[in-house]
Chains A and B, each alone.
Chain A
Amino acid sequence: MEQRKYRIAIAAVFLPILLISSLLQAQVRQRGEVVLQNSGRQPLAGVQVRAMGAIPATSDAAGHFDLHFSKSRPGQLLLLDEVYKDGYELVNEKALEQWTVSQSSKLPIVMCRKGALAAAQEKYYEIGRSHNMERYADACRQLDEQLAQNLLTEQQYNARLDKLSADYVKAMERLEAYAYALACYNRDDLDQMSIDALTLVEQGRLDEALEKYRDTQLGKLLQGLDFRHERERREMEAMIPSLRLNADLCCFAGGEENLQRAGEIYRSIALSDTTNASYAIDYASFLTEIAINLNEAQQWLSTALRHSTDSLQRAELYTGLGLLCTYIPDADAALRHLQKAVTIYEALIRQKKYSEDAYFNMSYTTYAIAESRYWLLMGKIANAANIMTKGVDYANKGFGLQPDKYAYPYLVFVSESIGAFHEFFIEYKLKTAENLQILKSLANAAAVVAQCTDKKQRIKTAQWLAGCYSTMSVASSNWMQAYESDLYADSCLMIVDKYMELNPVLFIKLKGECLLAKGQNLILSKDYPKAAQVLVETYDILKDAPYATKCIMNTLNLLSIASISLPEEKALPYSRIALEYMRSHPLSVDARKMLDVYWAYLFTRTMSGKELTDCENMMLEMLDFIKKNDTSRNWLRDSHIKQLQYMLVGMYHLHGKHFTDREKKRQVLAAAIDIVGLYPQISDMEQNQLVIAALWEEK
């Protein structure tokens, strides 16, 4: 039952927020050396070495070679396919069977000339055979003497003779293997004592050879080493709790140096016993969450898998691997791992002790989330919704069995499913009332469960719940339910405001998203002044927040759209704010949304006649932007062309005295005509172009 200690709550551990992955290749270089047996360590060149998982290598003049393993796990066994050189054969095959791939130790390969091994084996065989025969003959003679002296009965004599004969036969049978073993010894690797003993054996002096070994007291030696080994190992194990606390403090402290140290500690612990699944898992968790080194995390999870015998733990490890591979990304590997995980789950569910176990059920929901994420990233949204639907039963069961314990994972599951189903409905254009109701009931479930979670996770709980409400707000807005959308947004804001003090960074983004949804609703209901007010508030909150650029961009896009319908004292500054921000953050900009911003900027100025100074340059920039970015030529409609004309009329007729640079004017008009020409699907193309061209004349 020791295995229970190693069960991990993957939900908390393996939900990476980032998609950044490190591209470290786990290459291991195994150095090796080929020598000739009993030759004084003469190197052997031109030996071909083939091992599974590595590029074949050939030994150089010094007998050296390198095996490069492209994917290697710590503790992996070396599987030699072949060692070949014409005229030679491999001697130490047996010893190499247990070799683990290592960057530090050199792989020793011993070869001899073809036939040498057999010859040596024959030699030892002969020595052994004559030794056995002699002893047998001696022993028989002794028995005969004893019989002759009446020291034995006939019966005893026969019994002992039978035993002697049986022993003799056994010894002869073993002789071949014994001779082979002796033939394989490489004197270059033996110490003096063993060499002397071997020489004695060759001379037929077996007993003297044995005396040499006895004098060395190998048994005592081994026991002493074993004792020290055990003692050191226990001392090391005793240090691990302190090391873990040290690592925790480093992670808590943050900062590159501390995090690196924490990594070193986890790594040392994992290396101290590569057969310990729990150490491997700890290091893998660190690599996933903190170092964001998904490739190495993957290797350690694989190591843990090799030493894990508990089925449920294996299923969780496969799930973790699947999730890692999804983000690395390695789609094929991810699918393989997930399939292995689900096979185990499906086998276990048939056993009552699992199906009635809350932990098992919640563990399955973690798997469901992992599989759902995979499908979402692959774009197969239906499959994602499918697995989450399956997961709902397990979530309900697990939570029902032990509500206090599993409230948080249940909340996580419900939140993820809201996201998955929302995307599913949008993708497949299923914005029906029933489907919105499904989302709503999930959100309600989330709200109920959020009240049961442990206090120690209240901030995380608040985050997930606020996230649910935020998604629901967006969903309602997509379903054109502005009022409901606002309600959800307000619910989200309530949570956010409560926890903002405690942790602004986490909640600012959520606040921004909610306000954005509210702003969008106001625009949909055409209340532009109010919308603009909300959106400006949103921008103010978000502008200093890190990584909220997407939200800011959406906010400013909507603000631009709203500003067009506002009086100029609001319209001008708002559109300027939007344009300046977007132009200074080119990396985060969505091209289509950028168009709206340019448009609003130019429209508000050309219509009001204010702030006209850089209008020509902006116009050129915008037209060029459209040309470059609207590759499918579907951004502009009839209304756009009409508005473009109004803008140009505004610039050059109504407020013409501002624009004195003839060359610039020519460029602008030419660009405008050019753009109109790119949209032949819009009616009266030529007419529109003529209207623009006519602006050339001074009025």
Chain B
Amino acid sequence: MGRKIAHILAICTTISVIATANGEVRQHGIALLQNSGRQPLPQVTVMVSGAAPATSDSHGQFSLHFATCNEGDAVRTVEIGKTGYELVNTREVELWNISETDTFTVVLCPRGSLNESRRRYYKLGEDRYRSLYQQKLEELDRALADRQIIEQQYREKIIEAGEQLQRALNRLEEFCDRFARINRDMLSELDRRALALLDAGDIDGAINVYEEAHILETFNEKRQLLDSIATQKSHVADKIREEIRLLEQSNSPQSIARRDSLLHLLETTTSH
């Protein structure tokens, strides 16, 4: 009897060893409704290559079991969907790598709502560009009338303004899509406020939110702070190296031990 149990145990151990060697990974995921306050979406089918299809439950949660893939591999999606809905965060989904710890989030919205948002933003942008162009033309007309510019410059600037307009319009579709796909539930308070203003048609107000928050200035200050901390670190590291030299020369066991711990410290603190 004992031998049988031992035999079974041996087999079980082998099996589990094989299983982990092949990298059986479980990817946890959740399906959410866009701009809904993180409402979970049930009945979303998730089909990716390398795992059996999964469907999200009433809490929007689902699990993907990868038999032969490993942690860190790229997930190739075949289809993610639900009738009457479409996938919003296509880009993040495209770039997802398998992970046991991070949750694979898929965001969906009712079919057609992306298109509607895009159209709204498009109109907003186009009206704005046209009025900017008109303003520019009027400005140039005035400048010409006041003899601030000569005929040739005037013509050149008109052409330039036209080209700017065309460039702006060419870019417009891309921006509209980007804005439409943002899931406001995932945003910071600041971003949410800005987008709310954009949605209300107040583009300048949206930009102003950031100006008032001095976000760029704060970022630049932090950048400088980071640089100065880096410089300080560099100085301290230099001094530590001075100490290490002396320790090596002293060569006593305590010195060598201290030197080793200092070396380790130098290695593990982030280098630049």
A18 CB contact (under 8 Å) in B115, B163, B173? B163
Shortest C-beta distance, A289 to chain B (Å), equals 7
| A228-B229, A502-B122, A585-B155 given; A246·B243 CB < 8 A | no
Give Cα A12–Cα B91 distance, bound, in whole angstroms. Answer: 15
Shortest distance between the CB of A234 and any CB in chain B (Å): 10
Task: List, in ascending order, chain B residues with CB within 8 A of A250's CB.
Answer: 207
What are the residues of chain B within 8 A of A271 when measuring CB–CB?
Answer: 223
In contact, A206 and B246 (Cβ under 8 angstroms): yes
Is residue B203 within 8 Å, beta carbon to beta carbon, of the partner chain? yes
What residues of chain A lie closer than 8 Å to B17, measured between beta carbons? none
Give CA–CA (A309, B129) in the complex, Å: 40
Q: Is B168 among interface residues, defined by CB-CB distance under 8 A?
A: yes
Mask of A161-174 contacts with B, CB within 8 angstroms, 1/0: 00000010011001
Known: A289-B171, A456-B177, A546-B159. A239 touches B219 (CB 8 A): yes
Bound complex: CA A265 to CA B218 (Å): 12
Chain B residue at smallest Cβ distance from A236: B222
B52 contacts partner chain A, Cβ-Cβ < 8 Å? no
B269 close to A249 (CB less than 8 A): no
In the complex, B261 has a CB within 8 A of chain A: yes
- Flag A230-246 by CB within 8 Å of B: 1 or 0 each: 10110110010111011
Residues A547 and B223 in contact, CB atoms below 8 Å apart: no
> What are 7 A-B pairs at a CB distance below 8 A?
A171-B249, A226-B270, A242-B188, A253-B128, A506-B170, A547-B166, A585-B155
Complex CA gap A230/B270 in Å reads 8
Q: A residues 576-600 with Cβ under 8 Å of B?
A: 585, 587
Asked whether, in the complex, the Cβ of B250 is within 8 Å of the Cβ of A1, the reply is: no
A427-464 vs B, Cβ < 8 Å mask (1 yes, 0 no): 00000000000000000000000000001110110000
Of all chain A residues, which has the CB nearest B255?
A210
Our pick among B152, B162, B220 for the contact of A547 (Cβ within 8 Å) is B162
B162 touches A546 (CB 8 A): yes
Given contacts A18-B163, A253-B128, A460-B173, contact A225 B236 (CB under 8 A): yes
Per the bound structure, the CA–CA distance linking A132 and B248 in Å amounts to 11
Closest A residue, CB atoms, query B232 = A225
Q: Give the CA-CA distance A456 to B243 in the complex, in Å.
A: 62
Known: A221-B236, A222-B240. A252 touches B170 (CB 8 A): no
Binary contact readout B55-97 vs A (1 if CB under 8 angstroms, 0 otherwise): 0000000000000000011100000000000000000000101
Closest B-chain residue to A258, C-beta based?
B207
Query: Which of A202-260 touch B at CB < 8 Å?
Result: 206-207, 209-210, 213-214, 216, 218-219, 221-223, 225-226, 228-230, 232-233, 235-236, 239, 241-243, 245-246, 248-255, 258
Contact of B248 among A174, A207, A545 (CB under 8 A): A174
Question: In the complex, which of the residues A182, A222, A251, A253 contacts B245, with contact meaning CB atoms closer than 8 Å?
Answer: A182
**Smallest distance from the beta carbon of B206 to chain A beta carbons, Å?**
5
- Asked if residues A194 and B239 are in contact (CB atoms below 8 Å), the reply is yes
Residue of chain B at shortest CB distance from A230: B270
- Per-position binary interface string of chain B over residues 219-254, scored 1 when its CB falls under 8 Å from any chain A CB and 0 otherwise: 110110110011011001101101101111111000
For residue A132, which residues in chain B have a CB less than 8 angstroms away from its CB? 249, 251
CB-based contact A243/B219 at 8 Å: yes
A206 touches B216 (CB 8 A): no
0/1 per residue, A16-53, Cβ < 8 Å to B? 01100000000000000000000000000000000000
Q: Tell me which residues across on chain A come within 8 A of B173, comparing CB atoms.
A: 456-457, 459-460
Contact A223 to B162, CB < 8 A, known contacts A210-B255, A213-B243, A213-B246: no
- Closest CB pairs A-B (n = 3): A546-B162, A213-B243, A547-B162
Q: Would you call A352 an interface residue if the criterion is a C-beta within 8 Å of the partner chain's C-beta atoms?
A: no
Asked whether any CB of chain B lies closer than 8 Å to the CB of A503, the reply is: yes
Complex Cα distance, B95 from A2, in Å, reads 9
A246 to B232, CA, bound (A): 32
Q: Within the complex, what minimum Cβ distance (angstroms) separates A280 from chain B?
A: 15
B32 CB–A CB distance under 8 Å: no
Q: Is the CB of A249 within 8 A of B229?
A: no
Additional pairs, 9, CB under 8 Å, beyond known A213-B239, A246-B194, A587-B156: A4-B74, A4-B95, A214-B258, A216-B239, A219-B261, A253-B204, A254-B125, A456-B118, A546-B166
Judged by a CB distance under 8 angstroms, whether B132 is at the interface is yes
Cross-chain contact B166 with A17 (CB below 8 angstroms): yes
Could you count the A-B residue pairs with CB atoms below 8 Å apart for me: how many are there?
209
B147 surroundings in chain A (CB, below 8 A): none
The distance in angstroms between the C-alpha atoms of A1 and B70, with both chains bound, is 11
Q: In the assembled complex, which residues on chain A have CB atoms less than 8 Å from the CB atom of B249?
A: 128, 131-132, 171, 174-175, 178, 206
Smallest CB-CB separation from A15: which chain B residue?
B170
B232 contacts which chain A residues (CB < 8 A)? Answer: 225
Is B207 within 8 A of A243, CB to CB? no
A261 to B126, CA, bound (A): 20
What residues of chain A lie closer than 8 Å to B155, measured between beta carbons? Answer: 585, 587
B167 within 8 A of A: yes
Contacts of B257 in A (CB 8 A): none
Asked whether A246 and B246 contact (CB < 8 A) given A225-B233, A254-B168, the answer is: no
Cβ contacts under 8 Å, B270 to chain A: 226, 229-230
Docked CA distance A230–B222 (Å): 12
A124–chain B nearest beta-carbon distance, Å: 9
User: Which A residues are in CB contact (< 8 Å) with B194?
Assistant: 245-246, 249
Within 8 A of A (CB), among B135-177: 152, 155-156, 158-159, 161-163, 165-177
A178, B216: Cβ atoms closer than 8 Å: no
- The A contact surface, by secondary structure, is helix
CB distance from A138 to the nearest CB of B (A): 11
Which residues A625-639 have CB closer than 8 A to chain B?
Answer: none
B79 to chain A, nearest CB (A): 11
Query: Which of the residues B115, B190, B225 comes within 8 Å of A242, measured between beta carbons?
Result: B190
B-side contacts of A459, CB under 8 Å: 173
B207 pairs with A249, CB closer than 8 A: yes
Contacting residues, chain B, for A12 (C-beta < 8 A): 174
Q: Which residues of B contact A171 (CB under 8 A)?
A: 248-249, 251
Nearest Cβ in chain B — how far from A172, in angstroms? 10
Q: Is the CB–CB distance between B159 and A254 below 8 Å?
A: no
B171 touches A251 (CB 8 A): yes
A674 cross-chain contacts in B, Cβ below 8 A:
none
- Determine if A219 and B165 form an interchain contact, defined as CB atoms under 8 angstroms apart: no
For A255, list chain B residues within 8 Å (CB).
Answer: 132
CB distance from A438 to the nearest CB of B (A): 29
Q: When the two chains form their complex, are residues B250 and A206 in contact, meaning their CB atoms are under 8 A apart? A: yes
The docked-state distance in angstroms from the alpha carbon of A49 to that of B251 is 39
> Is B18's CB within 8 Å of the partner chain A?
no
Interface string of A445-487 (1 = CB under 8 A from B): 0000000000111011000000000000000000000000000
Q: How far is the CA of A587 from the CA of B152 in the complex (A)?
A: 8
Give the CA-CA distance A255 to B198 in the complex, in Å: 16
Q: Say yes or no: is B178 at the interface (Cβ < 8 Å to chain A).
A: yes
Judged by a CB distance under 8 angstroms, whether A264 is at the interface is yes
Contact of A219 among B222, B247, B262 (CB under 8 A): B262
Could you tell me the distance between the alpha carbons of A32 and B132 in the complex, rounded to whole angstroms? 47
- Would you call A455 and B115 a contact (CB within 8 A)? yes
Q: What are the residues of chain A within 8 A of B236 when measuring CB–CB?
A: 218, 221-222, 225
Q: Which of A174, A181, A254 has the most CB of B within 10 A?
A: A254
A201 at the interface (CB under 8 A from B): yes
User: In the complex, how many angstroms separate the beta carbon of B182 from the nearest chain A beta carbon?
Assistant: 8
B72 contact set on A, CB distance < 8 A: 1
Give the interface centre of B152, B176, B216, B240 by most chain A CB atoms within 10 Å.
B216
Cβ-closest chain B residue relative to A177: B245
Asked if B216 and A264 make an inter-chain contact with CB atoms under 8 angstroms apart, the answer reads yes
Are B97 and A223 in touch, CB under 8 angstroms?
no
A1 to B242, Cβ gap below 8 A? no
User: Does A295 touch B at the CB level, under 8 Å?
Assistant: no
In the bound complex, do residue B269 and residue A178 qualify as a contact, i.e. CB atoms below 8 Å apart? Answer: no
- Cβ of B215 within 8 Å of any chain A Cβ, yes or no, is yes
Q: Which of A221, A223, A261, A549 contacts B159 (CB 8 A)?
A: A549
For residue A153, CB closer than 8 A to chain B, the reply is: no
CB distance from B125 to the nearest CB of A (A): 6
A290 to B175, CA, bound (A): 13
Interface residues of B in 167-216 (CB under 8 A from A): 167-179, 182, 188, 190-191, 194-195, 198, 203-204, 206-207, 210, 215-216
